[in-house]
Structure 1
């Protein structure tokens, strides 16, 4: 793991797993090049739940800024843009690299749609911070949804946050490519990130 976060660490009480999780969260949030209100709220809740990481200067700065942004309950356009840039730097990225990779970026719906669960068919692919795919499926089944492999009846494809921008070269590439093809043909399938999905749980 590289970038700003590692440069500002040095606290043995914070595990490598926690650092990896934070970087994964940051990368998941910036994957589609935008950040919305639900995602800011998700980040705030994650930072609160992992408050012990605030001993790290980079994390403490992020925590304080997110709390300031959400003091009035709303993250406006300028605040979201600022937060997007901060998260991108935190995850070890570079804006020029982001532009270079945009052609291979995850084909997420933009804007990301509101998600429902009852009578909605979900498919999960990739590696999830939430847990194994079965746990993700159980989370939506408990809320009245159905799950299956990807097919023309799938309503929502959720992509795990540890899926990289070079997804086309990965083993999950065929699932994502097939979903994109369904969408191109007019099948009403939404492709969303794990972070966006979790914000609706």
Structure 2
């Protein structure tokens, strides 16, 4: 009789089952999109797949699979988009789940470093140079947000080995985007200290949103309304809502609860594509759903 109490055997068995589940899902997705038409019965089959594999929900990237499948109907995420996101996740896993788990872990560690540095509300020179040292030792994160941005910023700050107050404030403003300080007094102090600094991260800060003849694409799960409602509102304002991001896209609207892919591979498929296009020189503004709803 197989001894499932053996922890090594359990790990191997779970890994084997996870790989088999990923392959079966990938095949299912390829079959579903083979005729480029996705109907209700096919989406129901995806939900049944999720139900059959729910015991793997605590293993990357199954939590993201389950969330995406569960939220497709309730949040009006187009079926084609959901299937493409799921297939994208399968490919990420297939191309080296250990590598991507490591990337995610290191980016979470970087966020923790930001948190620790800002915990006392003071950013000193030693902390900046230590951060520079860590970034230099982790160049495998190159091309992942926010590593590229923080690396460029820190390099520009330490280049002359003299850190002025403006540079210190800008760096503080950048890092605070990724930190939720429990000490409200310190959080308020940092907000006051950086009030005059406008940092552009993934989502633009206080963006000017022009609707007339501009193209808008939505990603993730909206918390203030449905996709159809937002798309109609955009259209009423003279904008053009689309489901696919391209070089012609002017705005990518990011849902408040984010794409389910985010926690597994750092950000979702559309955001990844938008960042890539932006690096190529295309002007794509990524905006939070709240800013769009507020502008309508």
* TM-score bin, normalised by smaller chain: 0.3 to 0.5
TM-score, normalization: structure 1? 0.44
The structure, 1 or 2, with the larger RCO (C-alpha pairs under 8 Å, 6+ apart) is: 1
Higher helix share: 2
Indicate the structure (1 or 2) with the bigger Cα radius of gyration: 2
